Amino acid sequence: MFAAPQVVAHRLLRMAAAGATPSRADLREFHLMSAEKIAAFSESWQAMAVQMCKVNQTLGLSLLRTWPFPGAFAPGGFLKPLSCSVAQLQGPALGILSKGIAPIHRRAVSNAKRLGRIKVR
């Protein structure tokens, strides 16, 4: 929450200070800026896909466990209605999102620390 605005502010100030003739260090930082975003979002999508596969496997196994009991969800059946199970999906959905945001958060925090030590000319 705090790291991303710090990084954006530092980089915008650096771009403004560099003007039309950026130094080699500026060009390196500008290139790193875009390459990092691509890498972080790729890691994010991959982490979310892996977590989604795990959640789908868990959901599939839970559905297979009820397969031999077709009347389980019927009124008076021994299992809770499916609407109650939907509430149980909220945790796994948030787990998928947290796996996806972790690589982006990690990079933003490390950039804030690194860029905090660099002085804009």
pLDDT at residue 121 tops 60:
no
Interval 12-28: pLDDT, tens: 898 999 989 999 988 99
Q: At residue 46, does pLDDT exceed 90?
A: yes
Q: What are the pLDDT digits (tens) for 75-115?
A: 655 555 555 566 677 888 999 999 999 999 999 999 899 88
How far apart, in whole angstroms, are the C-alpha atoms of residue 71 and residue 102? 42
- DSSP-based three-state secondary structure for 113: helix
Instruction: Taking the CA atoms of 88, 93, 96 and 97 in sequence, report the sign of the dihedral they define.
Output: negative
Model-level pTM?
0.69
pLDDT at 63 over 90: no
Token duo for residue 1: 């929450």
Where does the pLDDT of residue 119 fall: very low under 50, low under 70, confident under 90, or very high at 90 and above?
low
3-state secondary structure at position 81: coil
By residue count, the chain amounts to 121
**Distance between CA atoms of 87 and 97, rounded to whole angstroms?**
16
Residue 105 CA, chain-centre distance (Å), reads: 8
d(CA 79, CA 15): 61
Six-digit token pair at 81?
């209605």
Domain ranges of the chain: 3-116
